[in-house]
Amino acid sequence: MTQGPRMPPGVSHRWLLVAASSLGLSAVAAIALVLARTPVLTSLVPPDSFPRALVVHVNLATLLWYFAMAAALWTETLDARRQRIAGTLQLVGAAGALGVIATGLLAPGSPVLANYVPYLDHPLFLGSLALFAGAGLGTAGISLIRPRDVAEWGFAIARLPFIMATIYLLLAWHREMPLIDALWGTGHILQFGFVTLMMSIWLRLSERAGASGPPPAIAIPLFALASLPAIIAPSLLLAGVDHGTLHDLHTQIMRWSNWPAPLAFGLLLAFQKNARRADGFAASLGLYCIGILAGAAIDSQTTLIPAHYHGTIGAFTLAQMAAVFARLSPTQGAERSTEPTRRPLSIYFFGITTLICGLAWSGMLGAPRKVAFSAAGAELPAIIAAALTGLGGTVTIVGVGYFALIAAPRIVKLCQAASSPISPHNSPAAAATFAAAR
């Protein structure tokens, strides 16, 4: 009797639901940010709501979305013995995610617009964020298995920066470093984990399209090169490097070591014809290249900085959206199932590219970051650039919302099928693994 395709366990589906819901809700928070940066519409947003909306949006669109998606991919092949513990961790993570959303919107406290990890200066918000991150880290540990193919090596190696970020945060806390600086350094380290995850997703997407990918002797070292710089900052902190020197080193480490490995890996894949046809791969690689170029142009605290990171996080997000759709695609054993449309990927790509162009143009005109647009005394080029930012943001929100409306109901069906006494192999909602080797 032929064994059917392996199905992810229920805990993986539930993490997937947290991930897709977080990204969808981030689009709601982004509405206020887009309005605040769009000429004529800025008056619709109270000035004091912009910082809080930014805190909620960034945490939903990056930390919650990336951590939950990583946990969903890492738990695809959990054996029954570990699923109970993993399920408990998932419930803790979901509670933390709900706490971040609720306290971010309702709790008193001042928004602190820290780079990478902005936060609300309130113990319930910070506690919820710690609860969620702790559950994600625990899931990374309990789900680790021996890799069986090249892509699984990438998903395994991507855990290293998450661990290093935790060590760095604990060391910073021990040295009584200000929280805003500790989270800034932690956010830097996490970027190495995100790019390694993205590279692994690129490879899986390409393999599903029929490409073979780079040989293990090239691919695995590139995964390692993408993640290993995460070790540097915790080592320097442990060695007692002073805070000012460490701050400058963080920037230099990011500037010179965050992009070469993923860029080389992406270009190697791009030379394969089948890989270029993979859902989301070419667009994700293109966004990453745009982000690198925008980063090279940064010379001050202008909107060129968000143009840079919207390129890089846009690349991560687009790759993960494509991975979600791949997970939700029906298997050969599923009946009455239809492929989810990939149209949200195209809408998102157009929107985020337009947004980046608007932010980059505004930055070159000297527009400061982290503040709403002000039409007072603004010249026509600045108004047009801000309008372009608003248009791009609006289209991006539409793409993300469309994605969530398609993905969330299908994921709910997967969760229901996983808990049903009927075999998920016969369920019309059945989906196969994505990160795991087949």
* pLDDT for res 115: 84
Q: What is the mean pLDDT of residues 126-151?
A: 95
* pLDDT for res 333: 52
Q: What is the mean pLDDT of residues 357-376?
A: 84
Q: What is the mean pLDDT of residues 101-125?
A: 91
Q: What is the mean pLDDT of residues 2-15?
A: 77
Q: What is the mean pLDDT of residues 180-193?
A: 94
* pLDDT for res 242: 83
* pLDDT for res 71: 97
* pLDDT for res 128: 97
* pLDDT for res 331: 64
* pLDDT for res 424: 47
> What is the band of 244 on the pLDDT scale with cuts at 50, 70, 90?
confident
Q: What is the mean pLDDT of residues 193-219?
A: 95
What global pTM score does this model have? 0.92
**pLDDT at residue 1 above 50?**
no
Q: What is the mean pLDDT of residues 361-369?
A: 89
* pLDDT for res 334: 54
Q: Could you tell me the domains of the chain?
A: 10-426 (1.20.210.10)
- Please report how the helices 150-157 and 179-208 are oriented relative to each other, as an axis angle in degrees rounded to 10: 170
Computed over every residue of the chain, the mean pLDDT equals 89
> What is the band of 255 on the pLDDT scale with cuts at 50, 70, 90?
confident
Lowest mean pLDDT among 28-42, 196-210, 275-289, 358-372: 28-42
- Report the alpha-carbon distance of residue 395 to residue 391 in Å, rounded: 6
pLDDT tens for residues 384-409?
998 899 899 999 999 999 999 999 99
> What is the band of 124 on the pLDDT scale with cuts at 50, 70, 90?
very high
What Å distances lie between residue 288 and 38, 283, 336, CA to CA? 25, 9, 37
**pLDDT at residue 261 above 50?**
yes
What Å distances lie between residue 210 and 148, 272, 273, 277, CA to CA? 19, 10, 9, 9
- Report the alpha-carbon distance of residue 136 to residue 328 in Å, rounded: 22
> What is the band of 208 on the pLDDT scale with cuts at 50, 70, 90?
very high
Lowest mean pLDDT among 69-73, 245-249, 289-293: 245-249
5 compared with 303, residue with greater pLDDT? 303
Lowest mean pLDDT among 96-100, 107-111, 152-156, 297-301: 297-301
Residue count of the chain: 438
> What is the band of 3 on the pLDDT scale with cuts at 50, 70, 90?
very low
Cβ atoms of 227 and 165 within 8 Å: the answer is no
- Report the alpha-carbon distance of residue 211 to residue 272 in Å, rounded: 7
115 compared with 423, residue with greater pLDDT? 115
* pLDDT for res 6: 66
Distance linking the first and last C-alpha atoms of the chain: 18
Lowest mean pLDDT among 31-35, 376-380, 406-410: 376-380
- Report the alpha-carbon distance of residue 85 to residue 239 in Å, rounded: 36
pLDDT tens for residues 303-345?
999 999 899 999 999 999 999 999 998 765 555 567 888 999 9
